[in-house]
Structure 1
């Protein structure tokens, strides 16, 4: 983990009309910004880069007074259900007096956060990691001013880089596309550079 002290989190079970949504809340004192991170179709609290990227991001962002919320999808076979899981997370953060939110999603989760962002005025940043294209077309409906970062590996054999290129083409400005050579679907080969891209983008567009 390259010497970074991992932050602790609070396990939450947020009640919704569809049942309880399990979350891990990395709370930063006096935070007005937060990031929501979701994985892919594999379910659980999964993370790209061999499970290491999201915990590291949560710890680093906590040190910047930014809270973080990881969400476990109730049903990864349903895009609509998973969007509602993220919306439940957004509602929770609003209760925590969070006004600016960034969404990060890997693979299936990329399409989920795009759809969730289209429904929330509190989302200021979306970051997709090796996103699927199915369900991502609504990105053109997201209000102008929401910043979008698309990251993909050129050696992705699960979802080709064209998925992110497609979403990027439809997105409004400000937006950025980063394609990493010799990098697969889990993005482990470029973990350090990807971590830096995400942190820089959040510094630029979430903290206002």
Structure 2
């Protein structure tokens, strides 16, 4: 928390991380001042792009849902066109913390030359992306799938 009572998060380091078995993409830890965020990145290193999508899950977080792997499938299928970042929450079901995790993902992508970022969230994740989007100029679009509205601002 900042002296004026605002919540804040910043990335201190990025480290490799082994994603759960069967998960494609490269695992990484975003080491922040508020704890580590597990993430999986999908990109085609041979094609440089400024476009990215952050895939945000429901209230329980994780890397499986929605639709038993839809985000994973889309991230792999589209990696030649844009970078995908799938995040797991540090504190699932806590909207302010999940919004900060999402913004840490935006910060990471911005630092890696991505300037056109789309946030996609399902259910609880819909409220997270609706709340996170206005806090970053790099976020150009939001997709809320079967979103809850409670907590969305």
The answer to whether the Cα contact below 8 Å between 1:11 and 1:24 also exists between their aligned partners in 2 is yes
For structure 1, the residue ranges without an aligned partner over 5 or more in a row are 1-6, 139-208
The answer to whether the Cα contact below 8 Å between 2:27 and 2:39 also exists between their aligned partners in 1 is yes
Count of residues paired in the alignment:
130
Runs of 4+ in 1 over 4 A off after TM superposition: none
Instruction: Check if 1:75 corresponds to 2:97.
Output: no
CA distance in 1, matches of 2:80, 2:43: 10
Q: RMSD of aligned C-alpha atoms? A: 1.6
Instruction: Check if 1:54 corresponds to 2:76.
Output: no
Greater share of residues in helix: 1
Instruction: Check if 1:41 corresponds to 2:59.
Output: yes
1:63 is matched with: 80
CA distance in 1, matches of 2:50, 2:143: 19
Q: 3-state SS of the aligned residue for 2:137?
A: coil
CA distance in 2, matches of 1:111, 1:61: 24
Using structure 1 for the length normalisation, give the TM-score. 0.59
Q: Which has the higher contact order (CA 8 A, sep 6+)?
A: 2
Instruction: Check if 1:128 corresponds to 2:144.
Output: yes
CA offset digits 1:146-190 (Å, max 9, x no partner): xxxxxxxxxxxxxxxxxxxxxxxxxxxxxxxxxxxxxxxxxxxxx
Taking a change above 3 Å as real, the CA distance of residues 109 and 69 of structure 1, as seen in their structure-2 partners, is same
2:50 is matched with: 32
The partner residue of 2:116 within 100, 105, 116 is 100
For structure 2, the residue ranges without an aligned partner over 5 or more in a row are 1-22
CA distance in 2, matches of 1:135, 1:41: 12
CA offset at residue 36 of structure 1?
Answer: 0.3
Q: 3-state SS of the aligned residue for 1:62?
A: coil
Using structure 2 for the length normalisation, give the TM-score. 0.80
